Structure 1
Amino acid sequence: MLSSTKELLETARRNSYAIGAFNIYNLEGVKAVVNAAEISHSPAMLQLHPSALIYGKLPLVKLCLESAKSAKVPIAIHLDHSTSASDIRLALDAGVRSIMADGSPMTYAKNLEFTRDMTALSHKFHAVVEAEIGRISGTEDGLTIAEKEAKMTDPIQAVEFVNQTKVDALAVTIGNVHGEYKNPPRLDFDRLEKIRSLIDIPLVLHGASGLPAEMIQRSIQLGVCKFNVNTEVRQAYMQALKLEICGDSPKDLLEIAGEAIAAMQEVIIDKLELFGSVGKAHLHDNPYAAMLAGQAHG
C-alpha cells in the first residue's frame, strides 16, 4: 500500500515507535525492504539516495512506486539527501510525495533559502519535506564529512529554521554519524530533549546503523519517529554476494540475488523490531493511500 510519509510519522509518534527508512539502490534492495515489512506486519519507507539515481532516475523511482502500491503493508517512498532542485522536481513529477531537501552542506543562510524554495515547490505537489540543520560526520555513498566539519543542531536556530521554511520533519544532529561508528556512539539527549520541547514536527535521526537498542529507545521517547538505515543493509548485501560468488560452489545469478535479498531482509527485520514498528501495520489503514496512488500516476 503506497502511503503518506506524514501519516506514517504522525501515527508512529502517537504510538511511541519509529518508522524504519532504508536506502535502496536496486530491485534486490526494494524486495528486501518490502518482504521484511510484510513478514513483520510493519510500515516502512523506501529511500532513494541521490547516488543511486545515477544509474537510472525514472526506472528506479517507478520501481519503488509500483512495489509500494502492490505491498500488503504501508510503504512510503522518499527522496533522501537531495541537494539538487532538478532531481527534486523530477521526483515530484514522477509521483514521489516525500522529499529531503538537504541544504546542510551549505551555509545556514543558503540552507534556509534552498529549503524554503524546495518546500514551497514540494507543497504544491502535496509532498512532505524533511530538512536538516547541523552537519553529520561520517562516510556514506562516497560522501565524507570530517569530524571537524560536523556541527550539532542548535535548538534555538532549529525553531527559526522550521518557522521560516515550513518543513514537515527535521533531521537532527546530536552525535549521530553516517556510516560506521569508529568509537562507541555518544548521543546528546539533552540537546534532543530541548529540540523536542521547542519544535512540534516529527524528528528524524540519520545514521541509525550501529546504534544500540537503549539509544534507539531513548531517542523514540524524546520524539524521534523515523530512523534512516543504510550501512548495515549494504554490508549484508555485499557480504552475501562475496560469499556466493567466491564460494566453493558458485551459484546461478538468480540464486545469488535471492541470497542477497535474504541477507538484507534479515537485517531489516531486526531494525523494524528495534524501532518498535513490528505488528503496527494495521494502525496505518489510512485514507491517503488511494489519493497517493492516483497522484503517482499523474
Structure 2
Amino acid sequence: MLASTQELLETARRNAYAIGAFNVYNLEGVKAVINAAEKLRSPAMLQIHPSALRYGRSMLVAMCLEAAKAATVSVSVHLDHSTDQQDIQDALQAGVRSIMADGSPFEYGKNLDFTRQMTQLAHQSGAIVEAEIGRISGTEDGLTIAEKEAKMTDPLQAVAFVRATGVDALAVTIGNVHGEYKRPPRLDFDRLAKIRQLLEIPLVLHGASGLPAAMISRSIQLGVCKFNVNTEVRQAYLQALKEEVCGKSPSDLLEIAGAAITAMESVITEKLALFGSVGKAHLHETSYAAMLASLSHD
C-alpha cells in the first residue's frame, strides 16, 4: 500500500528500527525493492534521484506510485537529494509526497533559505520534507564531493535550522559518505547522540552502503530511523547485467532482467534485515488503521 513517509519514519522510531530507502531507476529496481519488502513483510521506500527523475520524469514517478499502491506492505515514494526547485515542483505535480530539499551544497544561509522555501512549497501540496545539515563526501550518481569539502553536522546549528525551516526530517553528517568507503568508516556517535537529544524529528543517515552491522545498530539506537542505500544495489544490477550479457550464451532479454532483479533483491534483503524492519509491516498497518479511525471521528 502507498504509505506516508512520515508515518513510516515515526513508527520505525517508536519501535527502534529503521526504514530502508532504496534508489530506483527502472522497473527492475522497483520490482527488486517491492519483492524483498513483501517477502520479508517489511516497510520500505522507493527513492528517485533527480538524475533519474530527469530521465524518467512523470512516467518513472507513476510507476513507483502504482507499485507502492499495489504492494502488500507499506511503501512510500521519495524524491532524493534535490537542489532544484523545478525538480521539486515536477515531483510534487507528479504525485510525490515526500522530498529531500538538499541545500547542503550551499553555504548555511543559502541552505536555510532554500530549504525554508521548498518546505513551504512542499507543505502546500501535503508533502513532507527531509533536509541536510553538513556536507557528505563521496560519489553518487556522477556527483563527487571531496573529503576536504565534507562538514559534520553541528548539533546546535541543526536545532536552529529545523526551527527556522520547519522541515520534517533531518539527514545528518557524522562521518558517513556517499558511495564506497575508501577506508574503514568512523562515525561520530557522540555527535549523533547530541543531535538526537536536541531534536525530536526523525533522523536520516545517507551512505549506508558499506556500513558494518554494529554501526547500523548503534545508529538506530541513537535515533536514526531511515537509511539511504544506492551504491550496493546499483553495483549488483550492473554486475548481473555484465555476467548475463557477456556470458558464452547470452540469455533472453527477460531472463537478463530477471537476473538483475534477483541480484538487487539479494542486497535489499540483506539491508532490510540489518535495519531491523523485517516482520514490521503489521505495525504500519495498525498505524494506518488508527489514522483512518481518527479521521473518521473528526
Same fold (TM over 0.5): yes
1:94 CA displacement: 1.3
Output the amino acid matched with 2:260.
Answer: A
Output the amino acid matched with 2:288.
Answer: P
Output the amino acid matched with 1:70.
Answer: A
1:72 CA displacement: 0.5
* Structure 2, gaps ≥5 residues long: 293-298
Aligned to 2:288: 287
Q: How does the TM-score come out when normalised to structure 2?
A: 0.96
Q: Does 2:219 align with 1:219?
A: yes
Q: C-alpha deviations, 1:244-266, integer Å up to 9, x for none? A: 00111210111000000000000
SS of 2:78's partner is strand
1:91 CA displacement: 0.9
Aligned to 1:37: 37
| Residue-pair matches, total | 291
Instruction: Summarize the Cα distance change of 1:266–1:289 in structure 2 as closer, same or farther, 3 Å threshold.
Output: farther
Q: C-alpha deviations, 1:23-67, integer Å up to 9, x for none? A: 000110000000000011000000000111232210000000000
* Counterpart Cα distance in 1 of 2:46 and 2:274: 18
Q: Does 2:174 align with 1:174?
A: yes
Report the identity percentage: 76
SS of 1:282's partner is helix
Structure ranking higher on relative contact order (CA contacts 8 Å, 6+ apart): 1
* Counterpart Cα distance in 1 of 2:27 and 2:290: 23
> Where does 1:100-249 land on structure 2 (aligned, <5 Å)?
100-249=100-249
SS of 1:21's partner is strand
* Counterpart Cα distance in 2 of 1:261 and 1:49: 19
Output the amino acid matched with 1:236.
Answer: A
* Counterpart Cα distance in 2 of 1:104 and 1:44: 25
Q: C-alpha deviations, 1:103-126, integer Å up to 9, x for none? A: 000110000000000001111111
**8 Å Cα contact 1:176-1:206 kept in structure 2:** yes
SS of 2:130's partner is strand
* Structure 1, gaps ≥5 residues long: 292-298
SS of 1:77's partner is strand
Output the amino acid matched with 1:159.
Answer: V
* Counterpart Cα distance in 2 of 1:274 and 1:71: 22
Output the amino acid matched with 1:270.
Answer: E
Moved over 6 A (4+): 288-291
* Counterpart Cα distance in 2 of 1:188 and 1:178: 16
Aligned to 2:90: 90
1:206 CA displacement: 0.0
Instruction: Summarize the Cα distance change of 1:289–1:119 in structure 2 as closer, same or farther, 3 Å threshold.
Output: farther
Output the amino acid matched with 1:81.
Answer: H
Aligned to 2:295: none
Q: C-alpha deviations, 1:192-241, integer Å up to 9, x for none? A: 00000111100000000000000000000000000000000000000000
* Counterpart Cα distance in 1 of 2:69 and 2:291: 10
Q: How does the TM-score come out when normalised to structure 1?
A: 0.96
SS of 1:46's partner is strand
**8 Å Cα contact 1:4-1:289 kept in structure 2:** no
Q: C-alpha deviations, 1:148-196, integer Å up to 9, x for none? A: 0000000010000000000000000000000000000000000000000
1:290 CA displacement: 10
Aligned to 1:9: 9
* Counterpart Cα distance in 2 of 1:119 and 1:74: 24
1:289 CA displacement: 11
Aligned to 2:255: 255
1:288 CA displacement: 8.0
SS of 2:177's partner is coil
Q: Does 2:266 align with 1:266?
A: yes
Aligned to 1:294: none
* Counterpart Cα distance in 2 of 1:145 and 1:221: 28
1:95 CA displacement: 1.1
* Counterpart Cα distance in 1 of 2:116 and 2:189: 28
Q: CA RMSD in A?
A: 1.2
Q: C-alpha deviations, 1:2-30, integer Å up to 9, x for none? A: 00000000000000000000000011000
Q: Does 2:25 align with 1:25?
A: yes
* Counterpart Cα distance in 2 of 1:201 and 1:241: 40
SS of 1:183's partner is coil
Aligned to 1:49: 49
Output the amino acid matched with 1:188.
Answer: D
* Counterpart Cα distance in 2 of 1:289 and 1:51: 37
SS of 2:226's partner is strand
